[in-house]
Amino acid sequence: MNRLLLVSSGLWCLGAVAMAQAENFALVVGVDKYKDFNSLDGAVNDAKVVAEALKSAGVKHVITLVNDQASRNNIKNAWDEISKQAKTGDSVYLSYAGHGSQLPERIKGSETDGLDEFYVLGKFAESGKNTFERIVDDDLWEWFGKRPDLNIVLISDSCHSGTMTRAYQTSKLKRRRVTIKGIQQDALPLPANPQMVDEQKNVLTHVISISGVHDNEEVPEVRIENTPHGALSWFFAKGILGEADFNRDGAVSLSELKPYLNEKVKMQTEGIQHPEINFINDRELFRVSPNKAISGSGGTSLGFAVVNISGNDTAVNFVLANLKNVATTDKQNADLFWDVDKHRLVDKNNNIVAAFAGSGETTTRGYKRLNEADAALGELLTGIQTAVDGYRNKQSNVTKTMRDIGQGALALGIKADSNQLEFANSVLKQLSGYKVADKVKASLEWDVGNNLIRNEFSDVVYHFSKDDGQTRGIARIGKDDSLPLVKNLQGVINKYRLVESFKCINDGSLAVRLLPDDKLHKKGDKLAIQVEQIRNPFLTVFNLAVDGTLNFLYPVLQTDILQIPLDRPYKIDDLEVTEPFGGDHFVVILSDHPLLGLHKTLKSIQDAGAPATDALKQVILEELSSGGYQLGILPSFTANVN
């Protein structure tokens, strides 16, 4: 319900002491089963993961309503119960996953766009008594408006309008929207106080809205870990448990959750879905434990050693007594060692992970004197703990990728009639790295009769052609690149397995945008890549083309700067769409040191003109394991259209 795209102010600015005394409440709703409309598969799954995440994040009062439980009366009664229990300064989360729709406003002049948006509940009908089974945005406006002393977060994983603009055919994915032509014999009474629900007169500054899409988009259900979900609900749950804690300070803030959701949802849906999160004042949402803040760590401890103590015994003893997620050992067996004299943490490859500079005459070898230890040692411990947790997070993600990617088979669907099956089977026998899957579960579908491959969103990602001399799909203007197109289904399979591996180590901290937009582009269109939320200065960009071949994009020209500014977005604005058409994937890496070895590998793979393989994966993982990095995936879809 995008009209609740409101701001944080007032109570959202309460200090840490006040917030520590506040309680959290949640009402979580998910509807898959519909009496008169198409069923969904992932809304109840969403309700379950969101409810569990909220409980794990410390929300003690969680009410979950799914399918038939989620009637209008039950939802209203649950809200009233929460409203009765919640005290001034408490936080309330209301999450909905299911169908949405819209109709002309019932109270004239109350809506900016003239339309009421509403949640479609399971027994809703377009006429008669079951027209009552819906939650209109006016309802939420009235409920929330009666409790301006609460901090309210609304999570809407549904849509009320929009289209999936890129697909050549109707998408196989279920979408969370139904079209209602009109309501007859409406059983839902009008709000008792029309003035209260007038969005143009009453701004609810105590409400923050997290919506699945912009007004012109749809919410598709996607398969995550082989289970149907809405991407927004899934990553909201992951984010509040620590994956969105980019600075590893043990807290997830609004300013961290917003870019995390934007990038993760966009990546999962191949640029189809863009969440909408609006606020003014940043604030902490949830505290997370060190283990929860480390994605994929599995709870393992790092081997940790201390060298060159030189009289700083008290500082060392204090840190070792309070440092978490480490097991002390000798330098030879340590993952990290703390060189006290040189004020730095170093990994087993002698790469500096963190440095602690001295602060003048009031320090002893870079640390406060012992008579100032209470504050100083706390700061030192925080710095070392942050570095340890960040290193564990990075290593666990990289290790997970090294272990998992290349092992799992890509789910490949086959669309072929009886006359094509023999040919298709003869091709499949020569391929590797895939498993045959039905259409719903397939990541890619080979349409044998139409000579093309589609992704799960029905984008044409590869079109087989008889021409051998075509160049790859996205090229830098002014850069000669005429390597032949390799027409090989194996290359496409390898490419998408690589893309999945890079997604595994994308933490959502890097924002990458395709300009002017994410829509379908045609030959000759001029595009740009804009990189935002930059934390590391060394930029590397390459494109995995439709066929799996590689185009090294940055740095390649003499005018390309090796270190980009950290204080503003950076744009590569000389890209042009060329043949062949389909789905390209830009891989954008920001690192804290030049990736010269990777650049050499990228150029070598490009010059060979063959599809990228696990060799590229291994080089990237090795390069990323030696320092700080951010990594983003940006899909681009092109077609031969007018």
Q: Tell me the pLDDT tens digit for each residue of 354-368.
A: 887 543 333 333 333
Cα gap 336→344, rounded to integer Å: 10
Grade residue 215 by pLDDT with cuts at 50, 70 and 90: low
- Tell me, what's the pLDDT at 200? 57
What pTM does this model have?
0.77
| Extended strands (E) in 479-548 | 511-515, 526-532, 538-544
Measure the N-to-C terminal CA separation of the chain; round to a whole number of Å. Answer: 35
Cα gap 103→98, rounded to integer Å: 17
Q: Which stretch, 28-42, 297-311, 421-435, has highest mean pLDDT?
A: 28-42
Q: Are 591 and 536 in contact (CB under 8 A)?
A: yes
Residue 414: its H or E element: strand 410-415
- Tell me, what's the pLDDT at 473? 45
The stretch 66-76 carries a mean pLDDT of 97
- Tell me, what's the pLDDT at 132? 96
275-307 pLDDT, tens digit each: 988 777 788 898 875 444 333 333 456 788 898
Cα gap 344→367, rounded to integer Å: 12
3-state helix, strand, coil in the chain (%, to 5): 30, 25, 45
Buried b (16+ CB within 10 A) or exposed e, 570-593: bebebbebbbbbbbbbbbbbbbee
> What is the average pLDDT score of the chain?
81
Grade residue 232 by pLDDT with cuts at 50, 70 and 90: very high
Share of the chain above pLDDT 90, in %: 42
- Tell me, what's the pLDDT at 388? 83
Is the per-residue pLDDT at 92 higher than 60? yes
Listed residue (219, 199, 202, 208) closest to 105, CA to CA: 199
Cα gap 532→537, rounded to integer Å: 12
Q: Which stretch, 14-18, 187-191, 557-561, has highest mean pLDDT?
A: 557-561
The stretch 360-389 carries a mean pLDDT of 58
Of 466 and 509, the one with more pLDDT: 509
Q: Which residue in this structure is represented by tokens 């042009």? A: 576
Buried b (16+ CB within 10 A) or exposed e, 517-543: ebebbeeeeebebebebbebbbbbbbb
Cα gap 208→192, rounded to integer Å: 24
| Extended strands (E) in 524-628 | 526-532, 538-544, 550-554, 570-577, 583-591
For residue 138, the SS3 value is helix
Q: Which residue in this structure is represented by tokens 């008669």? A: 128
Is the per-residue pLDDT at 631 higher than 90? yes
Query: Which of 196-205, 255-264, 360-369, 476-485 bottoms out in mean pLDDT, i.e. has the lowest?
Result: 360-369
